[in-house]
A and B are shown apart, each in its own frame.
Chain A
Amino acid sequence: MKPSPDGSGGCPRGAHSSRVARERAIEWALLFAALTSVAVTVGIAGVLVYESLPFFRHVSLAEFLTDPQWTPLFSEAHYGILPLVAGTLVTTAVALLMALPVGTITAIYLSECATLVVRETVKPLLELLTAVPTVVFGYFALLFVTPFLQLIWADLPGFNMLSAGLVIGVMIIPYVSSLSEDAMRAVPMDIREGSYAMGATRMQTALRVVVPSALSGIAAAYALGISRAIGETMVVAIAAGMQPTLTWNPLEPAETITAYIVQVSLGDLPHGSIGYQSIFAAGLTLLLMTLLFNVAGYLLRKGFWKAY
């Protein structure tokens, strides 16, 4: 058919332009949806920065970053974020020491060893863990895990970072294992066959070929797990104690950034007071920390990226 001069390919002109309009409308709708989450993120970052400004007019950045005490609500106030950062990093580290190995091993098992029936049973059960409210995990840490750990360390305080960290670890195992397993299962079968054909065992194939091939997806799973661990609030607020002491020892109680924000938000601080502003400074610090981990994860992922 000869194309008609208006370029509509022989279709009636009205049908052509309405199709174009419809396509445009859909594109705009998709763009809008995509921009929503970007806008919310930028908005949150903006509010945090804006609300922290008065805080940093009152407290110097040097004091904020180096003072070993965090007592913004005391009459003799100190504004050193370090105790909260330490608490956050220690609980996160304990959680990750638990979740990354267990999650990765679970993923390898489910992807490379388990039969279809086992996989289809275990995976939904694991994912069910994500449905448990975090406050339940918090009480589980305080009332079950801590007494249990006290059987090992008799002088372990009732509030401590170890217990909270371990329970956060259990909580994020499904995030790590589920996404890692998806990544491993997406590795094409012909790559696995290449390994088996060389005389490799199932474990050699899993560890030497499948895991390296799925590394970008596994890194994404780790990044999500880390973000969840850093941002976790309820468990640490309940089980780790709320005393901002600067310590790197997981057997001691401490306060995390998130726990502090909860603590202060629940009190009735006057709007505009330094205590009120300190939440935003703490929140900004938390945001920068997760951002740092995400950027690191992104760079790692880019380094390991393998296209098929």
Chain B
Amino acid sequence: MLPSSPQVEKARVKDLNFYYGSVHILKNISLTIGEKQVTAVIGPSGCGKTTYLRCFNRMHDLYPGNRYEGEVILHPDYVNILSPTVDPIEIRMRISMVFQKPNPFPKSIFENVAYGLRVRGWTDRAVLDEKVEQALRRAVLWEEVKDRLTHPALTLSGGQQQRLCIARALATEPEILLFDEPTSALDPTATARIEELILDLKTQVTIIIVTHNMQQAARVSDFTAFLYLGELVEFNKTDKMFTAPSNRLTEDYITGRFG
């Protein structure tokens, strides 16, 4: 039985506020991300859940006019991810991301998975071969692609492309894996495979997943955060959240009364 807050912390979010220009998007969010657990972020469209996720790897730095306030402390070294003195590239070396739409590069299957390693300066073919195979195996894609590693990644199906993107994210052995609605562009079969994969992976890596699909949150996550209009309404163990939510708004949302 899990306690209502994770025991082993991987990251702690303290009073996170996010502004796009003068628009206040995320408001005073505080919660704890448990080590090697799946934390789901749910909420209606426009509630800020993707914005929230993209704070973890500083993706907002790519666009002008964005401002963070507050802290996201990454364990074990207590680095504040949001600090302006912390290089976002350092952060992205430790925290990988899988996007809403599969976005493989127009390169071969092999080179897609090797991308993060090459960016980090790995050139030894034997090491690359080994790490690419390992990542593809972890993403349960190896058997399907091992005979055509040199084929363009864009020849794969949508579900395979998304698993390729997961392999790409895994190849560099990140500490946290961010999933931004990873199955919203996939059919039910491919979705089921990705969900299975997430359950497999959580023994190895800390996962945060944004999803608009509440059943998905219930199936894959240990903890769930419910965001509404940029505020954290409730954060709790997933089984508690979906059986006995403590907040009326949460109950209305998960029972489908709005959203």
Q: Which residues of A contact B (CB under 8 A)?
A: 188, 190-201, 204, 208-209, 212-213, 306-308
A306 contacts B92, C-beta separation under 8 Å? no
| Contact segment of B23-31, B36-44, B102-110, B197-205 | B102-110
B99 contacts A198, C-beta separation under 8 Å? no
The answer to whether B18 has its CB under 8 Å from any CB of chain A is no
> From residue A306, how far is it (CB to closest CB) to chain B in Å?
4
Chain B residues with CB under 8 Å of A193's CB are: 59, 62, 99, 103
Chain A residues with CB under 8 Å of B59's CB are: 193, 196-197
A198: nearest residue on chain B (CB-CB)?
Answer: B116
> From residue B221, how far is it (CB to closest CB) to chain A in Å?
21
Q: Which residues of B contact A (CB under 8 A)?
A: 57, 59, 62, 89-90, 92-93, 96-97, 99, 101, 103-107, 115-116, 118-120, 152, 154, 165, 168-169, 172
A208 contacts B96, C-beta separation under 8 Å? no
| Among all A-B residue pairs, the 8 with the closest Cβ atoms | A306-B106, A199-B92, A197-B97, A199-B93, A198-B116, A194-B103, A190-B103, A200-B119
Contact status of A195 and B89, CB under 8 A, knowing A190-B99, A208-B115: no
A197 contacts B96, C-beta separation under 8 Å? yes
Partner of A194, one of B99, B120, B152, B172: B99
Residue from A190, A195, A199, A208 with most neighbouring chain B CB atoms (10 Å)? A199
B57: nearest residue on chain A (CB-CB)?
Answer: A197
Chain A interface, DSSP helix/strand/loop, else mixed: helix
A212 contacts B107, C-beta separation under 8 Å? yes
Chain B residues with CB under 8 Å of A213's CB are: 105-106
> From residue A213, how far is it (CB to closest CB) to chain B in Å?
5
A193 to B103, CA, bound (A): 9
Chain B residues with CB under 8 Å of A196's CB are: 59, 62, 92
Chain B residues with CB under 8 Å of A199's CB are: 89-90, 92-93, 116, 119-120, 172
Chain B residues with CB under 8 Å of A308's CB are: 154
Chain B residues with CB under 8 Å of A204's CB are: 119
B106 contacts A194, C-beta separation under 8 Å? no
Residue from B93, B97, B107, B119 with most neighbouring chain A CB atoms (10 Å)? B119
Residue from A195, A197, A308 with most neighbouring chain B CB atoms (10 Å)? A197
Residue from A198, A200, A201, A306 with most neighbouring chain B CB atoms (10 Å)? A198
A191 contacts B92, C-beta separation under 8 Å? no
A307 to B169, CA, bound (A): 23
A165 to B99, CA, bound (A): 48
A193 to B169, CA, bound (A): 13
A213: nearest residue on chain B (CB-CB)?
Answer: B106
A-B contact list, 21 entries, CB within 8 Å: A190-B99, A190-B101, A190-B103, A193-B103, A194-B105, A196-B59, A197-B57, A197-B59, A197-B96, A197-B97, A198-B92, A198-B96, A198-B115, A199-B89, A199-B92, A199-B93, A209-B105, A212-B106, A213-B105, A306-B106, A306-B154
A190: nearest residue on chain B (CB-CB)?
Answer: B103
Chain B residues with CB under 8 Å of A191's CB are: 103, 105-106
A306 to B99, CA, bound (A): 20
Chain B residues with CB under 8 Å of A209's CB are: 105
A188 to B62, CA, bound (A): 14
A209: nearest residue on chain B (CB-CB)?
Answer: B105
A197 to B99, CA, bound (A): 10
B58: nearest residue on chain A (CB-CB)?
Answer: A196
A197: nearest residue on chain B (CB-CB)?
Answer: B97
> From residue A301, how far is it (CB to closest CB) to chain B in Å?
14
Chain B residues with CB under 8 Å of A306's CB are: 106, 152, 154
Chain A residues with CB under 8 Å of B96's CB are: 197-198
